[in-house]
A and B are shown apart, each in its own frame.
Chain A
Amino acid sequence: MSDNHGSARASARTVVIDLVVAALVFTLGAIVGYDSYRLGASWGADGPQAGYFPFYIGLLICICSVVIFVQSFVRLGTDRRVFVTAGQFKQVLVILLPSTAYVIGVWLIGIYVSATLFIALFMKFAGHYSWLRSAVLGLVVSISAFFLFEIWFKIPLPKGPVERLLGF
């Protein structure tokens, strides 16, 4: 996060994040505008070209982001509101990182096993529940999802080696 020399009160200021996001939004707008221009943003032989509408969308994104950037820049010295403190950010990572790991798991070993592991491990380590309760709840959610989707609604979800072993 921001430069606070590792103190426990480290935090990021809203106005700084505002500047960064405005710059990112501008980049997106510029990409949209550029690609539309490449496709042709004017009037073709048979009417408006493919980039006609999105070009102006990109342009508007760029204009708005410049204004937002300037607005934030003006407040840079005075606005001390905090976007996120280090403690809050840590809390966010506590759910964000395991969720990302879970999505990788869905991709590699299927949704059911990774859901069981995700719920059980999260309960155990973030919620400090006993292993038994964590494991039981993880299994209950996965197994009910399995019956709901694979059996009743016949919607196949990603499966991995464990499901294959069980014959699905």
Chain B
Amino acid sequence: MEEINALFHGFSVALTPFNLGLMVVGIVLGVIIGVLPGLGGANGVAILLPLTFSMPPTSAIIMLSCIYWGALFGGAITSVLFNIPGEPWSVATTFDGYPMAQDGRAGEALTGAFTSSFVGALVAVLMFTFIAPLVASFALQFGPPEFFAVYLLTFCSFVGTGKGNPFKIVAAMMLGFAMAAVGIDIVTGQLRLTFGFTELLSGFHFLVAVIGLFGIGEILLSMEEGLSFSGHSAKINPKIVLETWAKLPRYWATSIRSCIIGCWMGIIPGGATPASFMSYGIARKMSKNGDKFGTGQLEGVVAPETAAHAAGTSALLPMITLGIPGSPTAAVLLGGLLIWGLQPGPLLFVEQKDFVWGLIASMYLGNIAGLIIVLTMVPLFAAILRVPFPIIAPVIVVICAIGAFTVKNNILDVWMMVVFGIVGYVFRKLDYPLAPMVLALVLGDSAESAFRQSMLISQGDLTIFFSNWLVGSMTGLALVALFWPLISAGIARMRAAATAAARST
């Protein structure tokens, strides 16, 4: 019960008026960020990160993680009212949420979405509270080869779980690693890939890349689609909320399934989006009303929202315990930890107890605050979405530029942001995934140093990654994930051959 004591200590850290105020500010900003096109969770946190440099790290992470919760909640609003998923993981919410809004049941859909988000997050935080310290103490025994194996597993799972062309996934990822390598090599002090440009000495900053790739890229994409917002209005009053709450317990089985899917998939990088689709698909198969899914079933909103929020929350577990983020937003938060002078990883649980348990406590409080705020303020947030695009677009570009500049007070970064924006636009259209690229840019240096240290230990012998059962099984899993597209194609071919053979006999 050590965790319970630590958690209560965490509550005492998080429950100061200052931190509670930051929590509310974070949630409200997060919902706005989640609602506006061009400002997703990762990008929003990246822009606001420089504002927190002067805060104590615990308060800063509380505010930034609340922005993240807010963005998770906000995605549901646009999906239900406008049929525009604010975030990739709320795509599945549009399937039943938007038909419900067309039916005049927007309030019910939103209450269902928010409440199940809350349930998903709560289950994930509970899991986090008890599992994270175990993972961290386990990971304390890790040496460089084990850490490199974890990095390898992280990156290979992008290939294994990604839907697109595996070569594009690897290419995008490697470009991220290459950008991370630019600048002074920390071990030898040599300049790498700078080609005499002094501006490149410090390398590419991932915050600038995130702001450009996600922010400017998204604006360019939205402009092209010529967005015309035609949304439904939402009326949420206590009566609708209570009525919906009375209906929700009926879907307990869907809820539990979605929580499990979400918690599991969230630990795997890039997990929130597949988790929401998977959970929707399974709910449709298992439900009695499965054939009515897509026409406005509350259950069809509950399933993806629960899973997405559970996954979004558990994405922080590998970030805090191993220093390996499970999503681009978690990657930005990880970058924040580094800037505040904290080394993410298992030692955090030993050396920075206040910080870790304050964060965990703020996850409980932030989600409760989030639920109350979104339920009471939906009309306001929906009104923001009705602001016409010609006003929103330049304002977001201005905000992004300020965000990029404040990272290092360097005007060159603003130019880099524009270039990254164009790259993000083209890559998005050609299905080069951006998440592995950003993760590689953030983790590149740590992955490289883990690799080099392992090589030093083994004197250049790659078999060190199979030298004991722990590192060997992680490397093995990583290789399976890497070659999963090939393996699954092989299985499909064998099955087809088997059915063909069965038919011919």
Contacts and interface: CB of A to CB of B under 8 A. Distances in A.
Interface stretch (B11-19, B233-241, B449-457): B449-457
Given A84-B429, A158-B411, A29 B181 contact: no
A116 B365 CA distance: 39
A94 B390 CA distance: 10
Given A57-B174, A57-B177, A103-B418, A88 B51 contact: no
A122 B224 contact: no
A122 B226 contact: no
B167 A67 contact: yes
B174 A29 contact: yes
B344 to A, nearest CB: 21
Contact of A68 (B171, B178, B190): B171
Given A43-B460, A68-B165, A96-B220, A50 B192 contact: yes
Interface in A15-39: 17-18, 21, 25, 28-29, 31-32, 35-36, 39
Contacts of A50: 185, 187-188, 190, 192
Given A29-B174, A31-B193, A54-B181, A129 B429 contact: no
Given A60-B170, A95-B223, A158 B193 contact: no
Interface stretch (B250-258, B367-375, B392-400): B392-400
B167 A71 contact: yes
B175 interface: yes
Interface in A113-127: 115, 118-119, 122-123, 126-127
Contacts of A49: 188
A167 interface: no
A142 to B, nearest CB: 8
B165 A54 contact: no
How many A residues touch the partner, as a band?
35 or more
A164 to B, nearest CB: 17
Given A60-B170, A95-B393, A118-B394, A28 B178 contact: yes
Contact of B224 (A14, A92, A98, A158): A92
Interface string B377-413: 0000000000011110111011001100110010100
Contacts of A168: none
Nearest to A105: B401
B75 to A, nearest CB: 23
B51 A155 contact: yes
Given A48-B455, A123-B391, 7 more contacts: A21-B426, A28-B178, A50-B192, A57-B174, A61-B175, A84-B224, A156-B409
B50 interface: yes
7 contacts: A48-B455, A54-B192, A58-B178, A92-B425, A95-B219, A118-B397, A123-B391
Contacts of A129: 390-391
A10 interface: no
Interface string B423-456: 0011101101000000000000000100110011
Interface string A85-123: 000110110111011101100110001000100110011
A154 B190 CA distance: 36
Interface string B345-364: 00000000000000000000
A62 B440 CA distance: 17
B303 interface: no
B232 interface: no
B54 interface: yes
Nearest to A158: B411
A145 interface: yes
B342 to A, nearest CB: 21
B466 interface: no
A83 interface: yes
Interface of B: 50-51, 54, 165, 167-168, 170-171, 174-175, 177-178, 181, 185, 187-188, 190, 192-193, 195, 216, 219-220, 223-226, 388-391, 393-395, 397-398, 401-402, 405-406, 409, 411, 414-415, 418, 421-422, 425-427, 429-430, 432, 448, 451-452, 455-456, 460
A74 interface: no
B148 to A, nearest CB: 11
B430 A106 contact: no
Contacts of B223: 91-92, 94-95
B165 A57 contact: no
Most buried by A among B50, B51, B167, B414: B167
Given A14-B430, A64-B168, A95-B219, A106 B391 contact: no
Most buried by A among B170, B224, B389: B224
Given A32-B178, A95-B393, A129-B390, A25 B455 contact: no
Contacts of B170: 60, 64
B192 A92 contact: no
B402 A145 contact: yes
Given A92-B223, A106-B401, A51 B178 contact: no
A137 interface: yes
Nearest to B409: A156
Nearest to B456: A47
Interface string A59-73: 011001101100100
Contacts of B405: 106, 111, 157-158
A140 to B, nearest CB: 10
B388 A127 contact: yes
Interface in A143-166: 145, 149, 153-158
A131 interface: no
Contacts of B401: 102-103, 106, 111, 115
A63 to B, nearest CB: 8
A50 B182 CA distance: 11
B448 A53 contact: yes
A17 B430 CA distance: 8
